[in-house]
Chains A and B, each alone.
Chain A
């Protein structure tokens, strides 16, 4: 990190967020649901979009909608420039050393599948081992099950403890010279746990294995520096980062990406095609077949600029305050049990209630204008560990407030009365 960067970050850390002003940037937040002001606490599922993102997308469609990388006309040049500028914004956001390492895809899911099918399928074979963890989202489990089946490799799972933390000693035991790849989430969507990702990556490297990080839940909450982490791959989605749905990023180390076979084939990913031989395009285009989600990527660039302007350090500090406040508030609710009590957490609170099923709670809260998520959160193995079918989950972003958490607690108390 350069001195300039550090200074900027320290400066933003010191600024206190003006939540009223921030909320005014998100038009969706000012509406009523069932006659109550919307309290949006489902940010781990998807985040809301600020005007800056909505207007950027609107502008693209109104002023320079075009296909990119091929036209010589003005609109296409504008489109290409905006698209490639967004790639640079993303590169800087995670501190990748080159824009060639930034593959623009449809989401974290596609990013993980790309690595599984391109790297995994071509490199793994019988006897090789892939390590994942018990707290993974299904999108960081199933692609590895499929590639294991295709290649004869096997899957090992790092267990979790009752606080919802990875058991690092068990991870160390799983690592052997057969380990080829470790794919672990940076932050759990179901539990909010922040994993010791740097240690996980370093240990994988000690055994000569590659490390893929599923950062879908991390990028909206914490500064990510892929060079400092030294991860081999880092995946995330735009829509959880205040950007549009249908956008996602795979960061990969250039040397690895260069040696990997294409994942999908089509336009844009080639340099020259004859029926005898096709020459693939250079990075990152080799992995970006077909017309991409142009407006989405440009919108994601705007979302990252928006987050940068507020500053992730300031965001993290404020969200931590919210987490502490909410944890304390929920702890006072009789009959409520928080699932996921890791020492290191982001503002995601999963919980269950005595005698109230999460699904019923979700419906009752919705009537109070409060949006939470209920269910298994695409992390069934987490539910299996805690031997519960589902949880209710409140997940907060920097536009949420303590008053909204008070509303949540009131809603829960009301639900208790319904079922009393």
Chain B
């Protein structure tokens, strides 16, 4: 009927239907809530750290398909990464969804490329980045919840 395939790719639909690493992480070292007051999306990101390494990462909450799939993919991408690596992925991802993406190392982003479709939907970029900003703040050790507005 109409072409939405760039936004709602199979990967996104799949990660929305069965999000990975979903549910509270008991004994998390850090947890932080992110909230998008415009659409009511509310996610919590949980981290387990061993020194400089993210040994476990989970999330829970509710949101649209884009925000849930983005969070699910993010947790997959971040597991077992060092904080420096995590920051690099964050920066790459941010480029991916907010620029035309010419400088992006596609191989490094792997499955995260599926989210690139939001670029064409300015109102939906915040859905995709909610969990990422929350993670970023959690890594930085912030305690107060993150809001997109």
Tell me if B40 and A376 are in contact (CB < 8 A): yes
What residues of chain A lie closer than 8 Å to B2, measured between beta carbons?
Answer: 34-36, 367-368, 414
Interchain nearest-CB distance for A45 vs B (Å): 14
Tell me which residues across on chain B come within 8 A of A390, comparing CB atoms.
Answer: 39-40
Chain A interface mostly helix, strand, loop or mixed? mixed
- Closest-by-CB residue of B relative to A374 is B39
- Number of residues in B with C-beta < 8 Å to the partner? 22
Query: Among B1, B3, B40, which residue has its beta carbon within 8 angstroms of that of A389?
Result: B40
Binds B, one of A165-173, A251-259, A357-365: A357-365
Which A residues are CB-close (under 8 A) to B39? 357-359, 374-375, 389-390
Contact status of A419 and B16, CB under 8 A, knowing A36-B2, A360-B65, A367-B2 = yes
B62 within 8 A of A: yes
Say whether A383 faces chain B, with CB atoms less than 8 Å apart.
yes
Chain B binding surface, main DSSP class: loop
Q: In the complex, which range does the number of interface residues on chain A fall in? A: 20 to 34
Residues of A within 8 A of B62 (CB): 389
Q: How far is the CB of B4 from chain A (nearest CB, A)?
A: 5
Asked whether, in the complex, the Cβ of B41 is within 8 Å of the Cβ of A418, the reply is: no
Which residues of A325-369 are within 8 A (CB) of B?
355-360, 363-364, 367-368
- Whether A375 contacts B38 by the Cβ 8 Å rule is yes
A239 CB to nearest B CB, Å: 20
Q: Which residues of B contact A34 (CB under 8 A)?
A: 2
Given contacts A360-B66, A419-B13, contact A367 B4 (CB under 8 A): yes
Contact bitstring A34-50, B, C-beta under 8 A = 1, else 0: 11100000000000000
Residues in chain A near residue B65, CB distance under 8 A: 356-357, 360, 419
Mark out the residues of chain B between 17 and 45 whose CB falls within 8 Å of any chain A CB in the assembled complex: 17, 38-42
How far apart are the CA atoms of A358 and B2 in the complex, in Å? Answer: 19
Q: List 23 A-B contacts (CB under 8 A).
A: A36-B2, A356-B65, A358-B39, A358-B64, A359-B39, A359-B127, A360-B64, A360-B66, A363-B7, A364-B4, A364-B8, A367-B3, A368-B2, A374-B39, A375-B38, A383-B40, A389-B39, A389-B40, A389-B41, A390-B39, A390-B40, A414-B2, A419-B16
In the A-B complex, the 8 residue pairs with the closest CB atoms: A389-B40, A357-B64, A359-B64, A367-B2, A390-B40, A360-B65, A359-B39, A360-B64
